[in-house]
Amino acid sequence: MSAGVSYAGMAFNFEIMKNLFCLCILLLIGSMQMSRASDKIEKQPLKVLYVGGSADIQVLNETISDSTALRKSIADRTAAFGEMLRQYFQTVKVVAAEDWTPEMSRAYDVTVMDGRPKAIKPAWQEKDASGKVIAYHSAVYLPESFDRPMVTIAEVGNTVGRGIGLKSDWYCLCLDADAHHWRAEHPIFKGPFPVKMTVRMCPTPSDAFHYAYFMDEPVPDSVLMWKVQNKGYQTHEGFRVGMVARPWGFEDSPDAEYISSGVCAKTLDAVAIGRHGNFLHWGFAASPADMTEEAKTVFANAIVYISRFAGQKPFVRKYNDRIATREYVKEQLYLSTREAWQERVKSDEEFAAEGLKLKKVVQEKQRRGEKLNRREEMFLNYEPQPPMSYADMLKRYQGELFDLFGEDEAAYARYYRENIDYFYGGEGMYVLSIDEDVKSLGIPYNDKRLLDTAIRLLEKGKETEKANRILHRYTLCRFEAPQEWRTWYEKNKERLFFTESGGWLFMVNTREPDPANDYSARYAQPVQETSSRPAATDDRNPVQMVAGLEKAANGNREIVVRLKIHPGYHIYAYVAESDPFVTTQVELQLPEGWTIVGKPKLPSAKSYNKQGTTVYEDEAIFRYEISGSGQGEAKCTVSYQCCDAHICFPPIEKELKVMLK
């Protein structure tokens, strides 16, 4: 009997346990479903237009090759963006850049521009009577009246923005996968889609230490970072590189804001994410397929954020991307010091020692008949260049000031510090000069009392020429009578601000029409002239080249390609794998009957960084010994990337021709 009761009790308990187990399973499934429901993204009621055309692989030349791999990369990237955007927004349209027109964006809340659209006006050069280029005019892709919200990705910000004066200019195509120095309080990191950012302390990018003189505080050994991409060009060869914009003057107008920097080869405050008017620059290059989940959410929040700025086009325009700002004074001051010179000498000496060691290794390798790579060929005939003297550095970077101060380091420091409030940089590229008119009044150039004082001089009939120079130099207004100036000033004095990046101007914080915000007073379109005469190097023409035929020592002939490089600029001899720059290449095509003899003689280079990248400065001469007979035309294709201490220009390819007889 007891046994029967025991078996029955066990059966009853088993049934209860089975029911409880099923109930737990049902509760768990319900909980998971509720969790998934709570995690489901609530789409925002925005209409988003994605304009594709870029690839995930890096394409350096202007003419995109029609390879199968490239077409697939563009298609995959476009599909990835479309899929991601549809997760966050109710209406998403995908079009190719070649099919997009500015008018199409009128039907959408935000346009995501990820390709090069058709130009509405081609690029052109303005030249003087001698043929010297005095101004470059970029291709125009948008009308200046375009006021629809737009997110631009990587270098597209420079592509579509340069022609209309956006601050998302090309500082460097060198942005990798991680962000740092972001403004955590900014709306794009808050919502409407919740963001849980995973941050970690990482070593400071090594290139940032080159620009320590720009920073108000010492460059730290490590910084907090946030991973935006799972891939980057430093870890994945051929991966698309992002772009940072110049930080100098980025926030000197109320229509622009810095949001985040990122790992790059420039300063710690280079702009990886920023807004100018109705445009948001997202400098990171990866498609959603290679973004972190956190970055996708931030990107979606950025779309929502920029949608607020419909109709709010920029009223400050940065037409001169290399305009000098106050930060340029810091650089010039640093480049007048013996500390800067000693750093340069030490770097050059270390490179020379390593170069001579490598030369012996390469020569021995050649004697053994082993194949040499490009870097080894460069060191085959390496000869260390004489170290730069302190005077040579001052002549290079200080120009005419060297005639005044010579090697007096303290004199340069006094000059820059005593005149910091009286420099003017509104004309030319990286040009600062003392405004003697402003200095005579003892009022800083960016203090609105300067305008008030100049107007008072007009009202009193005193020093009227000086007063007019000041008012015309630092404003876009062109009033005739003193009373007109006074009326304008009194109406706007509380809304005045000063922008260096926008042209060294006092402007009015308003979206209403105002003569102080009308750039047409200064930037009228000049007449284009042409000439066949070559131009000398300058800031607009930092590299000039010529190819010719010379007699070699053994009686053969040499095709010699000479590149003259403007002081302060450089091109790249060898680029380390971790750097995003473009190596200088000379490709020679000879007519029938002619051949190249032996290896080319490459110019000696100088050290650029600890990663092993080397550069050419001042002059680079490439010699190709040739042998043959007959008449024809040799073609020399020279590709290079030119940089200075501030920016790296897009890669350039030029073709030179040499007649052979």
**463-482: pLDDT as tens digits:** 999 999 999 999 999 998 99
The two structure tokens encoding residue 650? 């897009």
Is residue 32 very low, low, confident or very high in pLDDT (cuts 50, 70, 90)?
Answer: very low
Separation of alpha carbons 570 and 394, rounded Å: 17
**99, 116, 107: which is closest to 49 by C-alpha?**
107
Question: Rounded distance, CA 43 to CA 300, Å?
Answer: 10
Average pLDDT over residues 279-300: 97
CA-angle at 351, arms to 346 and 353, nearest 5°: 100
pLDDT at 3: 35
Q: Which residue has the higher pLDDT, 508 or 609?
A: 508
Q: Which residues, 6 or more positions from 603, have their beta carbon under 8 angstroms from its beta carbon?
A: 573, 616, 619, 620, 621, 622
E runs forming strands in 56-123: 89-96, 110-113
pLDDT at 67 over 80: no
How large is the average pLDDT for residues 38-45?
77
- The reported pLDDT for the residue numbered 549 is 87
Mean pLDDT, range 301-306, rounded to an integer: 98
Q: Are 189 and 195 in contact (CB under 8 A)?
A: yes
Q: Which amino acid is at 153?
A: I
Where would I find the H helices in 399-448? 401-405, 409-418, 436-441
Confidence of residue 11 (pLDDT cuts 50, 70, 90): very low
**Distance from C-alpha of 320 to C-alpha of 324, rounded to nearest angstrom:** 9
Whether residue 6 is predicted with pLDDT greater than 70 in this model: the reply is no
How many CB atoms lie under 10 A from the CB of residue 63? 7
Q: Say if CB 56 and CB 239 are below 8 A apart.
A: yes
3-state secondary structure of 32: helix
Q: What is the pLDDT of residues 357-377, one digit of tens each?
A: 999 999 999 999 998 887 888
Query: For position 373, what pLDDT does the model report?
Result: 84
- How many whole angstroms separate alpha carbon 301 and alpha carbon 287? 16
* pLDDT digit string, tens, across residues 310-353: 999 999 999 999 999 999 999 999 999 999 999 989 988 988 99
- Residue where the block lists tokens 């051929």: 238
Bridge partners of 222, per DSSP, are 203
Q: Kindly state the DSSP code that residue 354 receives in the 8-state scheme.
A: H
How far is 642 from 656, CA to CA, in rounded Å?
18
Residue 365 belongs to what H/E stretch?
A: helix 338-367
Distance CA 51, CA 85 (A): 12
Q: Give the per-residue pLDDT at 622.
A: 92
Structure-token pair, residue 477: 């207004």
Q: Look over the chain and give the mean of its residue pLDDT values, rounded to a whole number.
A: 88
For 117, the token pair is: 């659209």
> Cα torsion at 250, 256, 262, 268 (round to 10°)?
30
Strands 89-96 and 44-52: parallel
Q: How confident is the model at residue 66 (pLDDT cuts 50, 70, 90)?
A: low
- Whole-angstrom distance, CA of residue 344 vs CA of residue 419: 27
Reading across the β-sheet that carries 614-616, which strands appear in turn?
606-607, 614-616, 570-574, 642-643
Q: DSSP letters of 128-148? A: -TTS-EEEEE--B-S-TT--S
Residue pair 555/541 in contact by the 8 Å Cβ criterion: no
Average pLDDT in the 209-217 region?
84
DSSP 223-277: EEEEE-BS--TTTSTTBPPEEEB--TTTTSSTTEEEEEEES-SS-TT-BSEEEET
Q: Per mean pLDDT, which range of 134-138, 167-171, 215-219, 257-261 is the poorest?
A: 134-138
Of the two residues 269 and 1, the one the predictor is more confident about is 269
Tens of pLDDT along 86-122?
999 999 999 999 999 999 999 999 999 999 999 998 8
pTM to 2 decimals? Answer: 0.78
What is the Cα–Cα distance from 123 to 101, expressed in whole angstroms?
A: 18
- Report residue 553's pLDDT band, with 50, 70 and 90 as the boundaries: low
- Looking at residue 63, its pLDDT comes to 41
Position 87, amino acid: Q
C-beta of residue 390 within 8 angstroms of C-beta of residue 407: yes
Length of the chain: 661
Q: Which residues pair with 94 in a beta bridge?
A: 50
Per-residue tokens: 124? 């052109």
Query: For residue 600, what are the contacts with CB-CB under 8 A and spacing of at least 6?
Result: 377, 586, 622, 623, 624
pLDDT band at 285; cut points 50, 70, 90: very high
Please give the pLDDT value at position 527: 31
- Which pLDDT belongs to residue 213? 85
